[in-house]
Amino acid sequence: MKRRVLPSLNALRTFEAVARHNSFTRAAEELNVTQSAASRLVHSLEDYLEVPLFTRRSRRIQLTDQGSYYSRLVSRSLDLLEAGTVELMSSKAGKGTLSVGMLPTFGTRWLLPRLPSFQALYPDVSVNVVSSDGELDFTRERIDIAIRFGHGQWSEALIDPLMGEEIQVVCSPALLEGRPPLTEPGQLGSYRLIDHSTRPDSWEYWFRSIGSTMPEVNWGPRLEHFFMITEAAKAGLGMALLPTFLIQEELAEGYLVSPFPERIAGPGAYYLVTPDTKAGLPRVTAFRQWVLDQLK
């Protein structure tokens, strides 16, 4: 039987930590070893590979080109090994936890109402829904799969397009009472416009898409999530720009109205993002297929 050509796992763990922190001291603290022990392990790895992984000048270190390549390879491999280990440990008696990174409003309006059907199919899987809408980092956020808005550009992941969105201008009916009817987009300059902090160009995009010039804006509150913007609009705090599918209930019940008929395609789409390191895990595979089935 062919023997694997592999260095010690301890040396690899130490090298990965040193490369990530760019520091023997910080890596040693993380691994609960002495700095000299961490240094010896990295030296032993370099001796084994017969390749320098770091350049050392005074008290500073820097990855060599070979070291940079190897650190990425080792980091991905350890992520995969960790994911498999956690999966195996959490699968006792067929149970386990699936952590889903979710846009807050999308999760509330789209995912949660549908989630009982997943739980009926997989009753032993505990679903942990985590609010997640910043830079996508599966390791740091400790999530297994995510639904995000964007343009499908996430590296080292399996990307499934889910849906686009139509956006429209809405407000509380009370906001329009006693004022002249809105017939031109430019009239929005006399109203406060609620700003979406994570999509700061939304209003400019809307005016441009309907072939209109954006007027001088009287900004209202600046809010982070769609559910906040929805509530602010219902409260009469200003005009809001919202995806139609997220506010169907408010429109149907009259809490929000749309002063303009235009509904335009949003600047991105929703995607299901599965990291390569988690794509083969049974619970992740089951959830991914279930989400895709919801769109049929």
The token pair that represents 90 in the structure block: 């959490």
pLDDT at 290: 96
**Residue 37 host element (H or E):** helix 35-49
Each residue's pLDDT tens digit, 136-159: 888 778 889 999 999 988 988 999
Helix (H, G, I), strand (E, B) or coil at 248: helix
Write out the two tokens for 107. Answer: 């999760």
Grouping H, G, I as helix, E, B as strand and the rest as coil, residue 155 is: coil
pLDDT score of 87: 67
pLDDT digits (tens, 9 = 90+) for 175-186: 999 898 899 999
295: burial class by Cβ within 10 Å (0-12, 13-18, 19+)?
A: exposed
CA proximity to 239, closest of 165, 293, 186:
186
Q: How many residues belong to the chain?
A: 296
What b/e sequence results for 240-251 when a residue is b if at least 16 CB atoms lie within 10 Å of its CB, and e otherwise?
Answer: bbbbeebbeebe
Looking at the structure, give the CATH architecture of the domain made up of residues 9-89.
Answer: Orthogonal Bundle (1.10)
At a CB cut-off of 8 Å and minimum separation 6, what does 13 contact? 31, 78
Whether 9-89 and 166-265 share one fold: the answer is no
DSSP string, 173-203: HHHHTTSPPP-SGGGGGGSEEEEETTSTTHH
**Token pair 């080109």 in the structure block, residue:** 65
> Domains of the chain: which residue ranges?
9-89, 93-163+269-294, 166-265
- Tokens encoding 134: 């910043």
Q: Are 37 and 54 in contact (CB under 8 A)?
A: no
Position 43 scores a pLDDT of 94
The whole-number pLDDT of residue 94 equals: 46
pLDDT value of position 91: 59
Are 215 and 188 in contact by the 8 Å Cβ rule? The answer is: yes
Provide the whole-model pTM.
0.70
Domain 166-265 listed as CATH 3.40.190.10: yes
Ranges of residues in the chain whose predicted pLDDT is under 70:
1, 87-88, 90-95
Quote the pLDDT of residue 83.
73
CATH architecture of structural domain 93-163+269-294: 3-Layer(aba) Sandwich (3.40)
